[in-house]
């Protein structure tokens, strides 16, 4: 059933799914009028409450729109400060197709950057990232990006350590919550495990159960230690060790020093399952640099008491211990170091591969990590082959746009930035998640043309030249399915498209047809035919695994089904198999073992990422604070939305904007700041407004301003909405990872009169 088949006068309630989980949607006529929690979710998210207002918000892009300055004179300088001309679909598609064709014929497909971030919809066919990449591949390819803002640094470093793609480790190869509950005695959480972040997951998470697992942990008597600057980064009942941001590698080194000094290191494990400890040990013990990494050395760096460090190290060595590391730790300058060092620390404990022991990454970062599922081939639109081999690390967009031809380092390769003349963006808002947005605003003026598919007039859409109105996931039919969840959804078209919005697929099909690539892009299929085609492949995968998946029309009628794919008992992790048989299940590293020291990384010659983990002080942290910028800013994910989605509606709520900034009472008091006050955060890169929340749930000297507020007008002296990325530093984590370093930021906070 399509949206146009729905009786317009009827009041209907159906279930759909999203990245923040399943929920019921009520419609009346052409409008979404309400939402309610999905009955199968024990801890439903509040995020869907904003859906009705967001879908029908006045900021929806109503019609194809072209920026006047670009249309009349190909002006770039007025991006973000120009009016738009609305045009009929055919005319706008003609103009866009001609421009894309001009760029590729004049400069080659290496001049086109295909931007997308993959979070636009939980649906598997109407997945903007797949759609835009498939379209660009059908016309000759594009410059791509590597990694994500959340895990780009880890995706670069961790394959050198464990020999497996980092995302595969996260999603398919770690201990399950059940395994942790049954076996772990001490849970040491660097960066915490946050229920707020676990609301969301790529493709959706139907049963939110992080809190219930921690209740089981506490009932068992598990000791749970939250190490980080915010108390609420872990559930109630966890111990809190409030360390300085950016200091985790130093604390891990001090824990390792205690293990080695007190004879608690498992040298038999290191000898059989790892390589390079003998190269790392002289640094740890201070034999190579004259600085033993003692608790006394680490204490002034991280802020933890030396005896607390010693006691924690002894506890970790004497109990079954799982070290977990949040994604936030690698979103900072030298973010490679705590990730690598956590693996080394776990190897020294000798518990890697034991149930509930060793090290895990990203628990709580998204909701699906910790589930153990039978793997089925996904419902995935083939993006085709990209003939262009050029790519950049995802967080280096501004550098790329400003510096064509300038060489840069990344993970052992040195290459010039491509000369980008056209950016096509669909399914994301870089003016939300990139760093130093005032800098990006200027870099965004470099390409000749920017085209965006977008439902709302985001900051990115306002800075485009051609904007095509795209449907939301509530205005089209799709299939909701992810390997991290046991539920399968038909996502019905709940209402007709708002305004003149079209599906990304139809937009790209129109462009491809005009560029003689229509058959390559569509393969002669309509959207419904694609859904049926992809779904039949999924059913066949289920049949091969002995799992009954309903027919497509049956799923439509039922709306959703729960598949029997939860692994009971949970499968052992790949490191458990490696531990049991290190030769038969050798790791895909040069040595076949865990690399405490990496000859490969060492051969790159990077001073900011040598051959073993080290402590490297960030450029901006409390150790370099000044009178002008004395506070360390962290910018966590928001709790009321995913990234900047639904922000149009949320910003309309009373007192919702500017965004709230959390600060310690002893930081607020001398500045004359109380909860509820409007304040300004500033540094040399910019300034933002925020509303203060004063609480001792954050470490002294640290302030936290969530991401997600839409970026305002760069010509103003202060961002009015409270986007922290006006303040963050746009510098790669290191020459190896080149990831996002948002958490390496100093600011001052002052009251606004």
Q: What angle (nearest 5°) sits at the alpha carbon of residue 284, between those of residues 281 and 290?
A: 110
Yes or no: say if 157 and 339 are a contact pair by the CB < 8 Å rule. Answer: yes
Sign, CA dihedral 210-214-220-222, equals: positive
User: What residues form DSSP beta bridges with 123?
Assistant: 480
What single string gives the DSSP state of each residue in 154-182?
HHHHHHHHHSS-HHHHHHHSS--HHHHHH
Q: CA dist 340 to 272, 324, 749, Å? A: 19, 12, 34
- CA 59/CA 613 separation, integer angstroms: 47
Q: What angle do CA 212, 217, 222 make, to 5 degrees?
A: 165
Residue of 117, 327, 361, 711 with catalytic role: 117
Annotated catalytic residue, options 20, 70, 89, 119: 119
CA distance 593 to 162: 7
Buried b (16+ CB within 10 A) or exposed e, 247-278: bbbbbbbbbbbbbbbeebbbeebbeebbbbbe
DSSP β-bridge partners for residue 237: none
Return d(Cα 40, Cα 36) in angstroms, integer.
12
Short-list 52, 62, 22, CA closest to 38: 22
560 as an active site residue: the answer is: no
The answer to whether residues 370 and 571 touch, using CB atoms and an 8 Å cutoff, is no
Token pair for 681: 């955060």
Active site residue 142: no
What DSSP letter does each residue of 401-425 carry, written as one string?
Answer: HH-TT-EEEETTEEEEPP---EEEE
What is the DSSP-derived secondary structure letter of residue 571?
A: P
> Which DSSP string corresponds to 683-726?
ETTEEEEEEEEE-TTB-TTEEE--S-SPP--TTSSSBSS--GGG
Cβ neighbours of residue 391 closer than 8 Å, sequence gap 6 or more: 143, 144, 145, 146
Distance CA(75)–CA(77), nearest Å, equals: 6
Q: What span, in angstroms and rounded, lies between the C-alpha atoms of 590 and 583?
A: 13
Q: What are the φ/ψ torsions at residue 667 (nearest 5 degrees)? A: -85, -35
Helix H or strand E segment including 751: strand 746-751
Q: Which residues are catalytic?
A: 117, 119
């Amino acid at each position: 059933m399509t949206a146009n088949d729905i009786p317009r006068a009827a009041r209907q309630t159906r279930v759909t799914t999203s990245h923040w989980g399943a929920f019921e949607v009520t419609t009346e006529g052409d409008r979404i009028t309400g939402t309610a929690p999905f009955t199968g979710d024990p801890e439903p998210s509040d995020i869907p409450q904003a859906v009705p207002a967001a879908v029908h918000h006045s900021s929806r892009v109503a019609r194809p729109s072209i920026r006047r300055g670009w249309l009349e004179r190909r002006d770039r300088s007025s991006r973000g400060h120009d009016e738009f001309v609305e045009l009929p679909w055919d005319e706008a598609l003609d103009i866009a197709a001609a421009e894309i064709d001009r760029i590729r014929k004049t400069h080659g497909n290496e001049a086109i950057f295909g931007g997308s971030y993959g979070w636009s919809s939980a649906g598997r066919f109407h997945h903007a990232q797949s759609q835009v990449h498939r379209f660009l591949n059908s016309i000759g390819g594009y410059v791509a990006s590597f990694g994500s803002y959340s895990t780009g640094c880890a995706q670069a470093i961790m394959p050198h350590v464990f020999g497996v793609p980092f995302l595969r480790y996260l999603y398919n190869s770690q201990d399950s919550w059940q395994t942790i509950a049954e076996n772990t005695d001490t849970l040491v959480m660097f960066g915490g495990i946050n229920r707020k972040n676990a609301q969301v997951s790529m493709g959706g998470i139907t049963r939110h159960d992080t809190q219930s697992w921690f209740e089981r942990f506490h009932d068992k008597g598990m000791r749970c230690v939250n190490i980080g600057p915010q108390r609420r980064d872990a559930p109630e009942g966890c111990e809190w060790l409030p360390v300085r941001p950016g200091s985790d590698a130093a604390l891990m080194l001090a824990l390792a020093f205690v293990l080695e000094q007190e004879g608690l290191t498992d040298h038999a494990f290191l000898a059989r399952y790892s390589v390079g400890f003998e190269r790392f040990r002289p640094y740890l013990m201070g034999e190579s640099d004259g600085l033993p990494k003692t608790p006394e050395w680490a204490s002034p760096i991280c802020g933890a008491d030396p005896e607390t460090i010693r006691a924690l190290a002894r506890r970790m060595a004497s109990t079954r211990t799982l070290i977990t590391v949040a994604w936030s730790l690698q979103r900072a300058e030298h973010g490679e170091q705590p990730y690598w060092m956590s693996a080394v620390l776990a190897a020294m404990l000798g518990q890697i591969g034991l149930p509930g022991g060793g090290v895990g990454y990203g628990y709580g970062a998204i909701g699906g990590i910790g589930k153990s599922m039978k793997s089925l081939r996904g419902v995935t639109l083939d993006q085709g082959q990209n003939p262009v081999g050029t790519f950049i690390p995802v967080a280096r967009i501004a550098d790329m746009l400003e510096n064509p031809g300038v060489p840069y380092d990344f993970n052992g390769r040195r290459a010039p930035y491509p000369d980008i003349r056209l950016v096509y963006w669909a399914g994301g808002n870089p003016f939300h998640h990139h760093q130093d947005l005032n800098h990006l605003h200027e870099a965004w003026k470099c390409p000749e043309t920017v085209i965006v598919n977008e439902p709302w007039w985001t900051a990115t859409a306002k800075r485009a030249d051609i904007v095509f109105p795209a449907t939301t996931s509530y205005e089209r039919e799709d299939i909701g399915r992810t390997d991290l969840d046991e539920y399968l959804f038909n996502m019905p078209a709940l209402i007709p498209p708002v305004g003149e919005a079209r599906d990304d697929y139809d937009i790209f099909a129109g462009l491809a047809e005009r560029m003689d690539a229509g058959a390559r892009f569509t393969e002669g299929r309509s959207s419904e035919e694609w859904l049926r085609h992809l779904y039949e492949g999924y059913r066949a995968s289920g049949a091969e695994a002995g799992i009954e998946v309903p027919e497509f029309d049956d799923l439509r009628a039922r709306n959703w089904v729960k598949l029997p794919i939860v692994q009971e008992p949970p499968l052992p992790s790949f490191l458990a198999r490696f531990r049991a048989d290190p030769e038969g299940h050798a790791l895909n590293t040069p040595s076949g073992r865990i690399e405490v020291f990496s000859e490969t990384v060492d051969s790159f010659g990077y001073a900011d990422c040598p051959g073993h983990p080290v402590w490297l002080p960030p450029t901006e942290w409390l150790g370099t604070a000044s009178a002008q910028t004395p506070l360390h800013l962290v910018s966590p994910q928001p709790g009321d939305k995913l990234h900047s989605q639904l922000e149009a509606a949320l910003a309309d709520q009373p007192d919702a904007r500017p965004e709230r900034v959390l600060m310690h009472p002893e930081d607020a008091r001398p500045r004359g700041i109380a909860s509820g006050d409007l304040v300004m955060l500033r540094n040399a890169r910019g300034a933002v407004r925020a509303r203060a929340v004063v609480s001792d749930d954050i470490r002294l000297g640290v302030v936290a301003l969530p991401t997600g507020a839409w970026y305002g007008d760069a010509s103003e002296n202060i961002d009015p909405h409270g986007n922290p990325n006006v303040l963050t530093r746009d510098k790669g984590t290191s020459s190896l990872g080149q990831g996002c370093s948002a958490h390496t930021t100093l600011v001052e906070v002052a009251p606004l009169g």
